[in-house]
Amino acid sequence: MNKLLLLFVILAVLGGSASAAQISGNVTSGGEKLAGQTVTLSRINGTVQSEESMTGIIYNFVPLADTATDKDGNYVFSDLKDDEYRVNVTYNGSIFGEHVILRDKAVMDFNLSEKIEGSVMKANNTLEGIPLRLLDIKGIEVMNTFTNESGKYLFNNVNAGRTYIVEATYEDVPYTELVNASESVDFTVYDTTEERDIISVKIDHIVLSRVPTGIKVDEYVEFMNTGDKVFFSKDRTWLGISTPEGITRFQTDVMECCLVREKNAAWIDPMKPLLPGETYGAEISYILSPDSSEAVFTKEMIYNTSYFTLLSERNNGFGIESTYAKKQIVPSEGREFEVLTSQNIPRNQIVDTQITGYVPSRTEGDFNYLIPLVAVALVGAVSYPFLKNRMTQKTRRRSIKPSPSAQVPVNVPQEAPESKPQLNAAPEDASGKDIIEMSFDELLAEKNAAFESILNLENRFNDGEIPEKEYKELKKQYKEKAMLIIKQLKERALNLDLEQPVPVLEKIIERVDDIDILEELLDREKEGENRDELKSIIEQRIENIEQNE
């Protein structure tokens, strides 16, 4: 009996030790081991979405324990369970933190030896007293400062090998840059204005399609700040899209709080400052119900418009004609489209399009609010040759080195705001990773999944399975997630290591479907290795996209 009891005790001890995990590490600065530094441990207890956070996410931290580094700068947290944690180190009044996904054992060292510095300028003059913040990659503030009399700033003793966000604020407008520790970043800031003279329309795409209740109009407008000031006001700024009078079933991807409808226009608050050279896109759709076979679709240009496209599939049962636009018959995937295009239309110009041969229908019915995907692809193919020649040279993007996957610096534990229950909320990423931690292939898979979620949501709404309020809330969530994924995909592609072998790069490039990214990669290759084989691969990919591959 005693031997049996002893066996149980041994198994219990071994089992307990096998299940206990730990996090340990070392804290140094400038090669010096830092003793007596406070180290705290918190568990990540989920996240909630919030517009108050720069990244749109707030983490809920549950404090667990604290300790101090020993004489050699070492610390350890033992008897933990496998989970996600935050380790925070306090040094010189600043709190540096890292996100740790614990599986048995993890080592998280802090090397507080680097600095991030730069200047703030306006019209070639440095500015004193400009507030700046240093935030970790998850948008949590680490420290703050002001520019000195020379317009310069300095964040000292930052964690080496990590990526940070630097934010400067001028006239209530935040300017942000993603930067690696040890790098410098300079800001150019601008005065603000709410005058619409600095706004133009870069692209105005309209797709007409036949529905039981009339003609459905889907429109995408991309606005651009072509001035030398920021389009911004604390009292809100508005961008307008003209619409015919008497339309029905108006819908948009813009939240209700950011929309004002008039009888012949929709006014949209972009909810963010629009810097010189920046763009903002918005989508609207509505039903036009002509009462005769010779109807006119009237479009007033509120802004100077660089490129205007109106598209209709030929089997819609009506034609389109205009004295203001060039007409093309464009085949695509066994179908034919009538496409009207016009360039450089001045502000306040009225563009009339005759809708010929239309026969009003008395049949009521529902329809899908999605723009036909083939039409969107075709519009892009028709537009690109023009845009390619007119787009100004893009500002070089700062190359960001990949940071370790186990990093999420934090400051003091904070409570997340109460989360409202959401029915059928957007699913978590299948990989369980943050978007910024995903590989290129994982991001592509997430993008496809996000688009599929939007399509399924549209179908469920059109089938009457979910109410309009819930539909709009979920569509906003899904779209924001898709935009984050696309943004990260672009960032990953733009920072692609072009020193890799050409066969490796070819496999990546064949999955990039954004012409802007491909042109940027082509420019980088021409300035770098300038390999004919790689340039040919990129140019061929661009050509394939133009031809609606």
Q: Of the ranges 71-75, 268-272, 518-522, 534-538, which one carries the lowest mean pLDDT score?
A: 518-522
Residues 237 and 331 in one domain: yes
| pLDDT surpassing 90 at residue 368 | no
Q: Based on the structure, what is the number of domains in the chain? A: 4
Please write the tens of the pLDDT for every residue from 415-471: 333 333 333 333 344 445 666 667 776 777 777 777 777 777 777 777 778 887 787
Q: Give the helix, strand, coil percentages of the chain, each rounded to 5.
A: 25, 40, 35
How far apart, in whole angstroms, are the C-alpha atoms of residue 53 and residue 63? 21
Residues 220-244: pLDDT tens digits? 999 999 999 999 988 889 999 999 9
Do 80 and 155 sit in the same domain of this protein? no
pLDDT (average), residues 483-489: 75
- Encoded tokens for 15: 């089992």
Is residue 535 pLDDT above 90, yes or no? no
Interval 381-398 mean pLDDT: 40
Percent of the chain with pLDDT strictly greater than 90? 38
Instruction: Note whether residue 397 is domain-resident.
Output: no
185-200 confidence digits (pLDDT tens):
999 999 999 999 999 9
Question: For residue 403, how far is the Cα from the chain centroid?
Answer: 19
Q: Mind listing the pLDDT tens digit for each residue in 296-311?
A: 899 999 999 999 999 9
Paired residues of 155 in beta bridges: 116
Q: Which two structure tokens, joined as six digits, stand for 443?
A: 């991001």
* 405 in any annotated domain: no
Is 328 or 435 the better-scoring residue by pLDDT? 328
Burial class (CB in 10 A: 0-12, 13-18, 19+), 438: buried
Which residues are CB-contacts of 338 (< 8 A; sequence separation ≥ 6)? 311, 312, 313, 314, 319, 320, 327, 328, 329
CA dihedral sign of residues 222, 226, 230, 233:
negative
Whether residue 267 sits in one domain with residue 150: no
pLDDT of residue 526 exceeding 50, the answer is yes
In the numeric block, which tokens belong to residue 45?
């207890």
Q: Read off the pLDDT of each residue in 171-192 and give the average, rounded to a whole number.
A: 92
With respect to residue 233, please indicate whether it lies within any of the assigned structural domains: yes
263 and 340 assigned to the same domain = yes
Residue 2: in which H helix or E strand, if any? Answer: helix 2-19
At a CB cut-off of 8 Å and minimum separation 6, what does 97 contact? Answer: 86, 87, 88, 89, 136, 140, 408, 409, 410, 411
Query: Mean pLDDT lowest for which of 166-170, 171-175, 426-430?
Result: 426-430
| In a shared domain, residues 267 and 362 | yes
Q: Is the pLDDT of residue 486 over 50?
A: yes
Q: Which of 98-102, 149-153, 199-203, 411-415 shows the lowest mean pLDDT across its residues? A: 411-415
Residue 417 lies inside a defined structural domain of this protein? no
Instruction: Identify the CATH number of the domain in which residue 13 sits.
Output: 2.60.40.10
Q: Look at residue 547 and tell me whether its pLDDT is greater than 90.
A: no
Q: Is the pLDDT of residue 488 over 80?
A: no
State both tokens at 528: 């770098």
Between 125 and 544, name the one with better pLDDT.
125
Judge if 43 and 156 occupy the same domain: no
**Residue 415 domain-assigned?**
no
Can you tell me the distance from the alpha carbon of 222 to that of 206, in angstroms, rounded to the nearest whole number?
12
pLDDT at 404: 35
CB atoms within 10 A of CB 181: 22
Read off the pLDDT band of 390 (50, 70, 90).
Answer: very low
Q: Both 83 and 136 in a single domain?
A: no
293: helix, strand or coil: coil
311 located within any domain: yes
Output the CA torsion 155→157→162→168 (10° steps): -10
Average pLDDT over the chain, rounded to an integer? 79
pLDDT of 320 above 50: yes
State whether 329 and 216 are in the same domain.
yes
At 434 the pLDDT is 67
Q: What digits encode the pLDDT tens for the residues 278-295?
A: 999 999 999 988 876 568
Neighbours of 388 (CB within 10 A): 13
338 & 443 share domain:
no
> What distance in Å separates the CA atoms of residue 483 and residue 78, rounded to the nearest whole number?
40
| 3-class secondary structure per residue, 391-447 | CCCCCCCCCCCCCCCCCCCCCCCCCCCCCCCCCCCCCCCCCCCCHHHCCHHHHHHHH
Domain that holds residue 122: 112-189
Taking residues 393-407, report their average pLDDT: 34
Domain boundary among 62, 92, 108: 108
Do residues 204 and 341 both lie within one domain?
Answer: yes
**Three-class SS of residue 125?**
strand
The CATH number covering residue 317 comes to 2.60.40
> How far is residue 525 from each of residues 41, 59, 385, 541, measured CA to CA in Å?
45, 40, 22, 15
CA distance 408 to 44: 11
Note whether residue 266 is domain-resident.
Answer: yes
pLDDT grade for 393, boundaries at 50, 70 and 90? very low
Give the C-alpha separation, 508 to 156, whole Å: 38
Strand partners, 286: 217
350 and 259 inside one domain: yes
Q: Which of 106-115, 424-433, 529-538 has the highest mean pLDDT?
A: 106-115
Residue 208 lies in a domain: yes
pLDDT at 138: 80
Is a pLDDT exceeding 60 seen at residue 203?
yes
Residues 242 and 375 in one domain: yes
